Chains A and B, each alone.
Chain A
Amino acid sequence: MRRVNVYAPILVLGLLSTGFAVVSVVAGSLTGPKRYNRARLDAYECGIEPTPQPVGGGRFPVKYYLTAMLFIIFDIEIIFLYPWAVAFDSLGLFGLVEMVLFIVTVFVAYAYVWRRGGLDWD
């Protein structure tokens, strides 16, 4: 059972920090004063009356979505690079060739995105 024991300390630290965070959040609502004020509970917009938000309107740039999508793709590339790197010495030149092929293919996609302006924020 050695391997589960390795995770036991992580669990202990997790419980400790969760306990601390929960206690802080609860304590914060107990220690502070409570004076009702209608304006205080409004959304903060630098002191002016909050602008009413249109329902379903006022969207954001789609760029953010694209960034998240690029992130997933490169994340997947990274998780393949890790075991490859760790096992590299036993894979040798063959492993290198495989990874070059893989990276080049992803790089083509990357170049396409660059060319299409997917990496520009302006």
Chain B
Amino acid sequence: MSVHTLGRLPLAYQPAGTFGTDPWWLVVLKAVGIFVFLVVMTLLAIWWERRVVARMQHRIGPNRVGPQGLLQSLADGIKLALKEDIVPRAADKVVFVLAPVLAAVPAFMAYAVMPFGPQVSIFGHRTMLQLTDLPVAVLYVIAVTSIGVYGIVLAGWSSGSTYPLLGALRSSAQVISYEIAMGLSFVAVFLFAGSMSTSQIVNQQTNLWFAIPLLPSFLIYATAMVGETNRAPFDLPEAEGELVGGFHTEYSSLKFALFFLAEYINMVTVSTLATTLFLGGWRAPWPLSLVGVDPAHPEGLLNTGWWPVLWFIAKINIFIFVFIWLRGTLPRLRYDQFMRIGWKILIPVSLLWILAVAAIRALTLDITLDRRTLFVWVGGVLAVVFVVSLAWDTLAERRGAAGAQDVPAAGFDPMAGGYPVPPLPGQSLPAYADLAVSPVSARAGSAEPDGTRDPVEGDDA
């Protein structure tokens, strides 16, 4: 009856390759390697972000410290270490110190199961280019990263200050909202790979990267990962105009640096997860993967040895570039728009897509139908539906804004709480009700939130 009497598992479920057999020195070497990799990636990503955004804005960007300004982030880190470490008087001291540690440690730990490459030889020892792998590796990653939310919530609360508390609430609500969409987008991958082990998932993509048959999953994941990492255009927790710095407003010195580090490592982690689950992991892109393929070497030259590390890092950096590109291009969303995308579009679309994938898979399990073609078609159609629904939503938003005049002006109290307060768009001062400007012309040039509501579903909102 109990779970453990159910016997052996299907082979595909176990990690591909040998794990848990490395000698201690190699384990420590790999762990240090991952640590250094993440820190260096962070320093480089910050530099790259500043340079790329500068180029997009016709500026030069940091170019003084080191060649091309490469050491700028390092210099910034040292500068932060020399700043005063402030602990506000109203803070809960223990939790205030604990929060940055809680943000940084899970960020590092999530990387333990990421596959950098296939089996290689390190000092004459055959080993996988991956710290370790678990049969439930992807679950491990999302479980560990979900602990990172504590860093945010506790930082905001323990500061004993208003802005950080607001920022922390927004930030964590945002992270947990997009975690659902993210978790759902993995289901189709597990269906295909029959495993949650990262090495096995990469192995299953030898012939076809999952991004192609599972395009909707990939798009949902790509959207969710931007929301999950609080990056532009979803960087609402850091909306400077509203919240100062967000949850880490009260932090300074190296504690602040740890939050910064955790944020960028999370960016690298979600990019790596996207690479591993959807873009073939460390596998060489298509034409290159054919180099040196012969019956003796079915994998080809560029998929063996240390080459894959190159593809792996290149793919991650493409994602990071997209992150930067989004930041350089798109304006920030409003909170209600952001939540609508997460809860009303991503979640239902991914649930439907999971059922579609499962249905196709169940129906073709016995029949030797060309499943791949079927998937590409269905996936294409769903991707179109996804994009159309996004566009429709934007249009509905515009239409809603146009019809916003009839928002009731009731309930506005010009002396709410004993202080004079200005009316929001859609509200008007009682004495000047007939003179009030219509909300549409009032908000023509601004991105102020208004009383917009969808006429269809706004029954009691």
Contact = CB atoms under 8 A, between A and B. Distances in A.
B86 interface: yes
Q: How large is the interface on A (under 10, 10 to 19, 20 to 34, 35 or more residues)?
A: 35 or more
A33 B80 CA distance: 11
Nearest to B265: A17
Contacts, number: 231
Interface string A67-94: 1101100110010011001101110110
A49 B114 CA distance: 48
B452 interface: yes
Given A9-B22, A24-B254, A28-B81, A64 B351 contact: no
A72 to B, nearest CB: 9
Interface in A32-74: 32-35, 40-46, 50-51, 53, 60, 64, 67-68, 70-71, 74
A71 B149 CA distance: 13
B167 to A, nearest CB: 12
Given A46-B244, A50-B161, A120-B461, A32 B451 contact: no
Q: How large is the interface on B (under 10, 10 to 19, 20 to 34, 35 or more residues)?
A: 35 or more
Interface in B74-128: 80-90, 97, 100-101, 104-105, 107-109, 111-112
Contact of A89 (B27, B159, B188, B194): B194
Nearest to B354: A81
Nearest to A78: B183
Interface of chain B: mostly helix, strand, loop or mixed: helix
12 contacts: A14-B105, A16-B108, A24-B255, A29-B253, A43-B162, A64-B173, A74-B347, A75-B179, A85-B354, A114-B457, A120-B461, A122-B453
Interface of A: 2-3, 5-10, 12-14, 16-18, 20-22, 24-25, 27-29, 31-35, 40-46, 50-51, 53, 60, 64, 67-68, 70-71, 74-75, 78, 81-82, 85-86, 88-90, 92-93, 95-96, 99-100, 103, 107, 110, 114-117, 119-122
What are the 10 tightest A-B residue pairs by CB atom distance, in nearest-first order? A28-B254, A17-B108, A5-B20, A43-B161, A117-B461, A121-B336, A85-B190, A28-B253, A9-B132, A6-B20
